[in-house]
Amino acid sequence: MMTAITQLQPLVDPQARRKVGVIGAGAIGAGVIEVLARGGVEGAELACVVDVHPVSGVAAPQVNLAEAIRRCDVLVECAGQVVVRQHAAEILEAGVDLLVSSVGAFADDALLDSVVAAGPGRLLFTSGAVGGVDLLASAAAEAPFERVSVTSRKLPTSVLQPWMDDATQDRIRTTTEPVEVFRGPAREAARLFPRSLNVAATVAFAVDSFDLVEVALVADPAAELTTHVIEADGPTGVYRFEIANRPSPANPRTSGVVPHAVLRSLCVLVGRPVRIV
Distance between CA 192 and CA 156 in Å, rounded? 15
Alpha carbon distance 31, 249 (integer Å):
12
User: Strands 147-154, 226-234: parallel, antiparallel or unpaired by DSSP?
Assistant: antiparallel
What pLDDT is recorded for position 80? 86
Confidence (pLDDT) at 253: 64
**Residue-level pLDDT at 217:** 95
Question: Could you tell me the fold of the domain covering 133-245?
Answer: Dihydrodipicolinate Reductase; domain 2 (3.30.360)
239: phi then psi, degrees, rounded to nearest 5: -125, 145
Q: Which pLDDT score, from 0 to 100, does residue 225 have?
A: 87
Domain positions in the chain are 18-128+258-269, 133-245
Q: Are strands 44-50 and 18-23 parallel, antiparallel or unpaired?
A: parallel
Asked if residue 144 has a cis previous peptide bond (ω within 30° of 0), the answer is: no
How much is the pLDDT for 7?
A: 37
The pLDDT, as a whole number, for residue 75 is 96
Q: 80 to each of 26, 107, 183, 209, how far by Cα in Å?
A: 10, 14, 22, 22
The mean pLDDT values, 10 residues at a time, for the chain of 277 residues are 37 68 90 89 90 86 94 92 92 94 88 90 85 89 94 91 93 94 92 84 90 94 90 95 80 72 85 56
Q: Are 23 and 266 in contact (CB under 8 A)?
A: no
What pLDDT score was predicted for residue 133? 87
Catalytic residue numbers?
A: 228
Please tell me the CATH code under which domain 18-128+258-269 is placed: 3.40.50.720
Beta partners for residue 229, in sequence order:
151, 242
Task: Say if CB 263 and CB 275 are below 8 A apart.
Answer: no
Distance CA 165, CA 275 (A): 47
Rounded CA separation 33/202 (Å): 23
